[in-house]
C-alpha cells in the first residue's frame, strides 16, 4: 500500500482513537508508529527497534531541557518566587495577555526550545487568575508566542538550518528585519483575539498573591533566567557549542543556578516535584518522536517529494513539502532539516530569493501542527482541553500564520526575484 495513503489512515486513526477513548498520548502515538511500520511491510523487530530509537531521539535532544525547565519552575513555586516574577513583569507589561504572549516569545528564543519556555512559564500563568477559561487562553498565548519565537527568529535551530543549507552568506540582519516584525504581528493578533474573548482587567497584584514594593527587583527569582541568557555567549564564543550542545548547556546552567540559590529545606522537594512533572511530559513527547522517526525512516519523504514535484508549481513546492514533513513527524527542527535536504538535490533553491525560500519553508512547517506535534499533546495535558479545542486554539492559528507567511514569501519573490 502507498505510504502516503497509510500515513493518512494512521493520522485519522490516532485522532479518532485519542478523542473517543481518551487514551494518554504516549499510547496512541506509539500505537500509531507500530501500525504504520507494520502496514508498510517492515519486520516486527525493525518496527520495535525504530520505536525505541524514535523515543530515544526525543529524550536525547529534549530530556535535559524539559527536566531543567520543570525543576526550575518547581523550585520557584516552592519558594514563592513565581509571584515575585509576575509582579516584576506586570510593571512592564500591564495586561496578562500581552505578558503571556511576549514572555513566551522572548524566553523561547534563547532557550531555542518552545516547550522549555512553556514549562517554565506555565506556573507563572497559574497565578494570574483562578478562572479556568482565562487561564487556559493565557496558556495558549504562551504556547503560540514560544512557537513563533523559535520558528521565525535567527539563529534558532529552525532558521540556522536553512541558512546553512541554502545561503550561508545571506545577511541574518536582513532576514530578522522581516521575520521578527512578521512573527510579532502574529503574536499581537493572538493577544488581541484573547483580549476580545475575556476581560482581564479584574486581575490585580493582590489576586496573584504578591504586592510589589516600590522600586524593587527580585534578583533571586530571576537568577536562573539571567544565567540562561548569559550562558548563550559563553557557549557560542568560548566553548564553540553547536545549537544542540548550546541548548543542553544553558538549561543545565539555569537548573544548577536554581538549585544553588534555593533554600536548603526545599532543595530535595523541588527536585522530586520537578523530575516527576518533567518525566510525564518527556514520555508523552517521546511517543511523538517514535511516530515521527518511523515515518521518517520509511519511503514517505521520497514518495511525498515525487508526488509534489509532478503535481505542484515550483513556488508552491517548498511550502507544501515542509507542511507534509511537519505533519508526518511534528518537529519544526526536523522539518527544516529534512526539507532542506530534499530541496538541496533540486534546482529550486537557485530559482528563489533566499528570504522567500526561508519563509516558504517556515510557513509550511507551521501549517499542520497536530497529532505528531509534541507541543499539541503537552497543551492537551496541561489545559485538560479535548483534542478539538486544542486543535482550534493551537493548530488553527498556526494554519493561518503559515498561509500568511507563504503569501509574504510570494510577494518577496515577486518584488525581488533572483537575477
- Give the helix ranges, DSSP H, for 22-80: 25-39, 44-78
Residue 42 covered by a domain: yes
Residue 285 covered by a domain: yes
List all residues 6 or more positions away from 414 whose beta carbon is below 8 Å from its beta carbon.
none
Q: Which of 69, 9, 70 is nearest to 35 (CA)?
A: 9
Total domains in the fold of the chain: 1
| SS3 label, residue 217 | coil
Residues 401 and 332 sit within 8 Å (Cβ to Cβ): no
Residue 160 covered by a domain: no
What are 48's three cell numbers? 520495535
Residue 142 covered by a domain: no
Residue 62 covered by a domain: no
Q: Which of 122, 111, 124, 120 is nearest to 84 (CA)?
A: 124
What are 387's three cell numbers? 483534542
List all residues 6 or more positions away from 75 whose beta carbon is below 8 Å from its beta carbon.
81, 224, 258, 259, 262, 266, 270, 274
The Cβ-side half-sphere exposure at 90, using a 13 Å CA radius, reads: 26
- Whole domain around residue 276: which residue ranges? 1-52+269-298
Residue 135 covered by a domain: no
Q: Is the pTM of this model over 0.85?
A: no
Residues 47 and 293 sit within 8 Å (Cβ to Cβ): no
Using CA atoms, how far residue 248 sits from 83, 157, 245, in Å, is 27, 13, 5
Q: What is the rounded distance in angstroms from the CA atom of residue 293 to the CA atom of residue 374?
A: 13
Q: What is the rounded distance in angstroms from the CA atom of residue 397 to the CA atom of residue 271?
A: 35
Q: Which of 375, 204, 362 is nearest to 289 (CA)?
A: 375
Residue 274 covered by a domain: yes
Number of neighbouring beta carbons within 10 Å of residue 320: 18
pLDDT in tens, the chain (419 residues): 588 889 888 878 877 787 677 777 788 889 989 999 999 999 999 999 999 998 898 788 778 887 888 888 788 878 888 777 777 777 777 788 998 998 889 878 766 678 877 887 888 787 777 788 899 999 999 999 999 998 998 867 788 778 878 988 888 889 999 999 999 999 999 999 999 988 876 555 455 444 555 556 788 888 988 898 888 889 888 998 876 787 789 889 999 999 999 988 898 988 998 888 788 778 877 887 788 788 878 888 788 778 887 888 889 999 998 998 788 767 787 788 778 867 876 788 989 999 999 999 999 999 888 877 888 988 998 898 988 999 999 999 999 999 999 999 999 999 999 76
Q: What is the rounded distance in angstroms from the CA atom of residue 246 to the CA atom of residue 129?
A: 35
Residues 362 and 154 sit within 8 Å (Cβ to Cβ): no
Peptide bond into 155 cis (omega under 30): yes
Residue 84 covered by a domain: no
Amino acid at each position: 500500500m502507498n505510504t502516503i495513503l497509510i500515513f493518512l489512515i494512521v493520522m485519522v486513526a490516532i485522532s479518532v482513537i485519542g478523542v473517543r477513548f481518551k487514551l494518554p498520548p504516549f499510547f496512541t502515538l506509539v500505537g500509531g508508529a507500530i501500525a504504520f511500520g507494520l502496514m508498510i511491510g517492515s519486520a516486527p523487530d525493525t518496527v520495535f527497534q525504530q520505536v525505541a530509537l524514535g523515543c530515544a531521539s526525543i529524550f536525547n535532544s529534549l530530556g535535559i531541557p524539559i527536566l531543567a525547565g520543570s525543576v526550575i519552575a518547581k523550585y520557584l513555586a516552592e519558594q514563592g518566587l513565581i509571584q515575585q516574577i509576575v509582579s516584576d513583569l506586570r510593571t512592564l507589561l500591564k495586561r496578562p495577555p500581552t505578558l503571556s504572549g511576549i514572555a513566551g516569545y522572548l524566553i523561547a528564543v534563547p532557550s531555542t526550545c518552545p516547550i522549555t519556555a512553556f514549562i517554565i512559564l506555565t506556573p507563572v500563568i497559574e497565578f494570574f487568575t483562578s478562572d479556568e477559561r482565562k487561564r487556559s487562553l493565557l496558556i495558549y498565548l504562551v504556547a503560540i508566542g514560544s512557537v513563533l519565537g523559535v520558528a521565525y527568529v535567527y539563529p534558532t535551530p529552525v532558521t540556522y538550518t536553512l541558512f546553512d543549507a541554502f545561503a550561508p552568506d545571506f545577511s541574518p540582519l536582513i532576514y530578522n528585519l522581516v521575520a521578527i516584525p512578521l512573527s510579532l504581528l502574529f503574536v499581537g493578533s493572538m493577544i488581541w483575539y484573547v483580549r476580545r474573548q475575556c476581560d482581564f482587567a479584574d486581575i490585580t497584584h493582590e489576586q496573584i498573591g504578591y504586592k510589589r514594593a516600590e522600586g524593587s527587583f527580585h534578583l533571586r527569582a530571576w537568577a536562573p533566567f539571567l544565567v540562561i541568557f548569559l550562558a548563550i555567549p559563553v557557549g557560542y564564543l568560548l566553548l564553540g557549542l553547536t545549537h544542540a550542545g548550546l541548548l543542553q548547556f544553558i538549561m543545565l546552567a539555569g537548573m544548577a543556578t536554581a538549585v544553588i540559590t534555593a533554600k536548603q529545606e526545599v532543595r530535595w522537594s523541588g527536585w522530586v516535584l520537578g523530575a516527576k512533572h518533567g518525566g510525564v511530559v518527556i514520555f508523552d513527547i517521546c511517543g511523538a518522536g517514535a511516530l515521527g522517526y518511523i515515518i521518517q525512516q520509511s519511503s514517505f519523504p521520497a514518495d511525498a517529494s515525487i508526488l509534489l514535484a509532478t503535481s505542484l508549481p515550483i513556488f508552491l513546492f517548498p511550502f507544501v513539502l515542509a507542511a507534509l514533513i511537519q505533519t508526518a513527524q511534528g518537529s519544526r527542527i526536523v522539518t527544516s532539516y529534512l526539507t532542506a535536504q530534499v530541496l538541496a538535490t533540486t534546482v529550486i533553491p537557485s530559482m528563489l530569493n533566499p528570504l522567500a525560500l526561508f519563509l516558504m519553508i517556515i510557513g509550511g512547517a507551521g501549517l499542520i501542527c497536530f497529532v505528531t506535534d509534541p507541543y499539541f499533546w503537552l497543551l492537551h495535558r496541561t489545559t485538560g482541553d479535548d483534542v478539538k479545542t486544542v486543535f482550534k486554539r493551537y493548530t488553527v492559528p498556526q494554519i493561518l500564520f503559515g498561509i500568511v507567511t507563504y503569501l509574504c514569501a510570494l510577494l518577496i519573490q515577486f518584488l525581488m526575484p533572483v537575477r
